[in-house]
Structure 1
Amino acid sequence: MYDLCNVILESIHYYTHILHMDIRKIKPYLEKKIVKGNTYYQLLRKTRIDGKVKRVWSKYLGTPETIEKVYNGYEEQTSLQLTSFEYGRTAALIKIFDELGIKPSTLFFDTTNFFTYIEHGEDIPRKGKSKEMRYDKNLVGLGLAVSDTSVPFFHETYSGNIQDFKSFAIIFDKIVERLDSIDVTHEDIVLVIDKGCNSKINISKVISKMHIVGSVKKNQAEELYDVSLDEFDLLYETKKKHKVLGYRIKKEVFGTEFTLVVRYHPGSYKKQKQTYEKKKVEILEKLHKIKYSVERVGKGKKKSITNALLDASKVIPDDYKKVFP
């Protein structure tokens, strides 16, 4: 009975030890066994537990003939050429729309990224500016082009550390190839892009192939922000009866003359103002705490000016650094 209890306790200790062990870190090795004249192989992982070498993992591989058969099958699978139906489905949708008299005229292109739990062994996942604020994870970038009829035309994944304007330079050529492959005249297409894709080379490349609608940074059209609303014209009225106003000028941007339009949406203005005022209160509270930590009297170490400035720069979000008083 005593021996049986010892065996049970040793077994419990053994399996508890294994459960708390990362077995994958133990290097496997190949073991050959001969049973009744037949040769078999298996993978083993062993480690030292309480001073004794014990097996903690095993995987049966089979006879040499079985291993050869599996390996040959793997080679055949990896050499297969897969057929993609992506082009076919897109072309089929375009054909249906064409028969209905619906012609795609606009492509909307945008990029994003998403974090992954992939840490090693892949080329695409990389550290970058996460749109989900997961700076601790590797990112995968994604560019997507969709038509005005909600047909997805093209997508491309790329390394998460590549900036939008750099990835767009490569992706745009592929978009043109896709349009040509499904017999859509790209010269008649209007491409809508975000200012993150802007560069002189990218803009020149787009206008050489199709029309473009985009946005520019504030410092590229500062004069538009000084125009009084009295000089704005009515552009359209929303379903919520908001009158959207706009002001147009001609200006050279990225080496080409464009029509620039600044838009005023009263609903958006109201919402943005509320958000700003709320954020402003939060920022001021945090700045007052930093100021107090610098000017405090009594026991304890005061915060240095250098550290205070560093903390203050982190308090103000990037979107508000240029406008916060």
Structure 2
Amino acid sequence: MAHIHKKMKNGRPYYYVREMARVDGKPKVINQVYLGSPARILEMAQGKSDLPSKLQTQEFGSLWLANLVEQEIGIAGIVDGIIPQAKGAGKPSIGDYFLYAIYNRMVAACSKRAMPEWYKHTAIQHIRPVQISELNSQKFWLKWDQVSEEHLTSITEEFFRRVNEIEPPASDCFMFDTTNYYTFMASQTDSKLAQRGKSKEGRNWLRQIGLALLVDRDKRIPFYYKEYKGNCHDSKVFLDVAGDLFSVMRKETADDTSLTIVFDKGMNSEENIAAIDAKENVHFITTYSTYFGEKLASTKLDLFTPLDTEKNKKLIENDKHDDLLQAYRTTGEYWGKQRTVIVTYNPLTAAKQRYGFEKRLLKLQDFLFEMQSKVSRGTSHWRNKATIEKRYKERCAELHLPSDIYKVEISVIDGALAFNFKKNYYKIERYIERLGKNILITDIEDWETEEIVQASLDRWAVEEGFRLTKDEEQIAMRPIRHWTDSKIRCHIFTCIAALTLLRLIELRLRRAGLNITAKTAMQSMRQLHSCLLFMPKKKETVRMLEDPDDLQGQIIRTFGAQIVDGVLQR
């Protein structure tokens, strides 16, 4: 409910329109608009006040923040310095098309077709002027068609070089991982990158594109990426990019510094480990499949000891001793050399996995009863022994269960098939023993167990980057709306550049004591609008910024600015 509220300041009355509502059962002010002194209110009533005839609000804060960080790198300048501009091409330049695509990815990712309409509702002309109508999908296609793979490689190298100047690596440990992005590209569309393979999101029937990413452990800033064919196995990708990885890792460190690369079990092939062993002062930490390391995974829990980690300390403070992460350390010969081996056990993970395992086991049991019924009735398509065995194994694969967890017997009795099954309790027990356990293998001997385990756990830094690229609102690398490999590469670069700039923003905020994600910061800053006021008396327009809320104010101050009387000041 709205009402007029009077305040006395220095003995003079000032009036506000206040809106009240009950919040948690108590009346609170939910909105307040300043009207002014009695004289000003009288002028408004008589139509004499110099009020705007109309106003226009535009999204300001998020783009201002994106532009502020990007100015330190100068992406448009990098591109235009590498790709010569055609005579009479004018603006926007090729670099500008990359720049405005990156801004869009950082704030509210949309298609190139929708981009002009999105920019119309922003204050981009106040921040970094551009002919918005030129930012259409056809112009993007024509401009990006001039970018070769060699051009993009040079652009990427210069971009990361400038990022390294601003934020050099703070660690000698790097995280490497791969993922893939499905597309809706038709089978007949010519593309070497988009291929059918094992989708990490289970969409194996769609063509997909792979991405390898290297990030710094402490700052979590991307330092290298590589797109690759969607049907290429992770281990092959690692071998293909190993030379580049070692070069990038070494670039910002002294030659005698020991470097460590952390990756998962999908890449620990003989060739890859040999490539690392051949490099001086380069070490690795990798996970190892509990399926192949069944003996290690079956290690009795009385050999495990709790780790001295920060998370365990907090659990002890909360009297949760049964939830402590534990580890068992030993050595063993792997990939032709003696290595350090650590088996970890997480009780919470084990409990979750046990619950999931029992649910899947019940599903398999229901399927077996259904199979038994169909076989005993002689149902059509259930009369061939090989076909029945195949269906059972396929169902086990769907449920991610080993096929020997049940003993299945198909026999012939009186000329008809009989189907019987029973649990293999030995195999079930061995399977349960592996739950909650993880095997780590490294060539590092002088690190404490806690250091090795924490380095492996920190691989979430690169996984978090992949999650952000798959966010539907921000970055949104998929769906990939480009249909040629050259445009796909340009699109991937804009997404990685957006991810990097967002991480730079997050680092600055954290150093200022604001422990929020870049996504939270951008969502908050999107609500800070620029207001364009049309003043009929003065026959002019006036631009003013909204009053920032507490979080917006902190973000703006972190980047060395403030809003005073609607004006942004450095």
TM-score (norm 1): 0.68
Name 1:294's counterpart in structure 2. 375
Name 1:269's counterpart in structure 2. 350
- Indicate yes or no: 2:212 matched with 1:143: yes
Moved more, 80-89 or 134-143: 80-89
**Cα distance, 1:216 vs structure 2:** 1.8
Name 1:128's counterpart in structure 2. 197
Could you tell me which runs of 5 or more consecutive residues in structure 2 were left unpaired when the two chains were aligned. 1-141, 407-570
One of 184, 191, 202 as aligned partner of 1:117: 184
Cα distance between partner residues in 1 of 2:240 and 2:376: 53
**Cα distance, 1:254 vs structure 2:** 0.5
Going from structure 1 to structure 2, the CA distance change for 1:117 and 1:198 (only over 3 Å counts) comes to same
Cα distance between partner residues in 2 of 1:262 and 1:301: 46
One of 385, 390, 402 as aligned partner of 1:305: 385
Cα distance between partner residues in 2 of 1:252 and 1:166: 23
Going from structure 1 to structure 2, the CA distance change for 1:173 and 1:313 (only over 3 Å counts) comes to same
Going from structure 1 to structure 2, the CA distance change for 1:295 and 1:234 (only over 3 Å counts) comes to same
Map 1:245-256 to 2 at 5 A: 245-256=326-337
Contact kept in structure 2, 1:180 and 1:186, CA below 8 Å: no
Could you tell me which runs of 5 or more consecutive residues in structure 1 were left unpaired when the two chains were aligned. 1-72
- Which residue identity does 1:168 align to in structure 2? F
How many residue pairs get matched?
Answer: 248
Map 1:10-49 to 2 at 5 A: none
- Which residue identity does 2:372 align to in structure 1? K
- Indicate yes or no: 2:242 matched with 1:162: no
**Cα distance, 1:90 vs structure 2:** 3.1
CA deviations over 1:178-223 (Å, ceiling 9, x no partner): 2344556585221001111111121021133311000223355333
**Cα distance, 1:243 vs structure 2:** 0.7
The secondary structure found in structure 1 opposite 2:214 is strand
Identity over the aligned pairs, expressed in percent?
25
- Which residue identity does 2:228 align to in structure 1? Y
- Higher normalized contact order (CA 8 Å, seq sep 6+, divided by chain length): 2
Cα distance between partner residues in 2 of 1:169 and 1:80: 20
Contact kept in structure 2, 1:294 and 1:305, CA below 8 Å: no
Cα distance between partner residues in 2 of 1:243 and 1:232: 11
**Cα distance, 1:307 vs structure 2:** 1.9
Cα distance between partner residues in 1 of 2:283 and 2:355: 36
Name 1:230's counterpart in structure 2. 302
Contact kept in structure 2, 1:287 and 1:315, CA below 8 Å: no
Cα distance between partner residues in 1 of 2:275 and 2:266: 15
- Which residue identity does 1:151 align to in structure 2? I
Contact kept in structure 1, 2:224 and 2:245, CA below 8 Å: yes
One of 150, 156, 166 as aligned partner of 1:86: 156
The secondary structure found in structure 1 opposite 2:325 is strand
Name 2:267's counterpart in structure 1. 197
Contact kept in structure 1, 2:396 and 2:403, CA below 8 Å: no
Name 2:28's counterpart in structure 1. none
Going from structure 1 to structure 2, the CA distance change for 1:222 and 1:302 (only over 3 Å counts) comes to closer
Contact kept in structure 1, 2:160 and 2:224, CA below 8 Å: no
Cα distance between partner residues in 1 of 2:308 and 2:373: 50
Cα distance between partner residues in 1 of 2:149 and 2:363: 58
Going from structure 1 to structure 2, the CA distance change for 1:130 and 1:300 (only over 3 Å counts) comes to closer
CA deviations over 1:81-105 (Å, ceiling 9, x no partner): 847553344344444445xxx7222
Contact kept in structure 2, 1:249 and 1:259, CA below 8 Å: yes
**Cα distance, 1:272 vs structure 2:** 0.4
Going from structure 1 to structure 2, the CA distance change for 1:81 and 1:266 (only over 3 Å counts) comes to closer
Contact kept in structure 2, 1:176 and 1:186, CA below 8 Å: no
Contact kept in structure 1, 2:249 and 2:259, CA below 8 Å: no
**Cα distance, 1:320 vs structure 2:** 1.6
Name 2:172's counterpart in structure 1. 105
Cα distance between partner residues in 1 of 2:256 and 2:195: 33
Moved more, 180-189 or 140-149: 180-189
Going from structure 1 to structure 2, the CA distance change for 1:138 and 1:291 (only over 3 Å counts) comes to same
The secondary structure found in structure 1 opposite 2:288 is coil
CA RMSD after TM alignment: 2.9
Cα distance between partner residues in 2 of 1:305 and 1:236: 55
